[in-house]
């Protein structure tokens, strides 16, 4: 038989954008409540939006670091795939029906483009507030 915990509340990590974090700090100063108590109250009054992976956010949808990291992982996979294609072309120039230099240039441009996208995603992640409130 499995043990069931009685009266134990589910823990939700709430990731806040900067605006929501500042609003939470203001409310803490005004009410004297803890961040967890305020977030619990907001959940009860429907002022918190739930995201699919069990995340909750205050007010508007924010960018979560893990979502950005997931996007950069996908870009990393694409970068590795393009690098692999470049290596294959260098090893077997007969694979493409035209100049190997043209194909290598095209792949290197694709690689550079992916790196720029990856950098933009990383910058997005660094702009968010990394404060997390457990309730």
Same-domain check for residues 43 and 83: no
Residues 37 and 58 in one domain: yes
- Checking 6-12 for CB contacts under 8 A at 24+ apart, the result is 9/135, 11/134, 11/135, 12/43, 12/54, 12/55, 12/56, 12/134, 12/135
What's the pLDDT at 17? 62
Are 58 and 111 contained in the same domain? no
Are residues 41 and 73 located together in one domain of the fold?
no
- Report the domain count for the chain: 2
pTM of the model: 0.33
pLDDT tens, residue by residue, 64-92: 555 666 676 777 788 888 888 878 877 77
Q: Could you tell me if 36 and 78 lie in one domain?
A: no
Report pLDDT for 1.
36
Residues 83, 122, single domain; the answer is yes
Domain span at 106:
65-127
Domain edge (last residue) among 62, 83, 103 = 62
56 and 26 in a common domain: yes
pLDDT by residue (tens digit) across 88-116?
A: 877 776 666 666 677 777 878 888 888 78
């Amino acid at each position: 038989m499995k043990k069931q915990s009685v009266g134990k509340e589910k823990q939700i990590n709430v990731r806040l954008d900067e605006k929501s974090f500042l609003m939470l700090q203001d409310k803490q100063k005004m009410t004297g409540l803890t961040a967890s108590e305020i977030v619990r109250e907001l959940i009860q009054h429907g002022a918190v939006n739930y995201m699919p992976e069990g995340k909750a956010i205050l007010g508007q949808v924010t960018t979560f670091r893990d979502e950005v990291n997931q996007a950069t992982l996908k870009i990393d996979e694409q970068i590795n795939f393009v690098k692999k294609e470049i290596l294959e072309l260098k090893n077997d120039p007969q694979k493409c029906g035209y100049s190997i230099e043209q194909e290598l240039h095209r792949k290197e441009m694709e690689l550079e483009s992916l790196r720029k996208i990856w950098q933009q995603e990383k910058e997005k992640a660094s702009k968010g507030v990394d404060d997390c409130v457990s309730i």
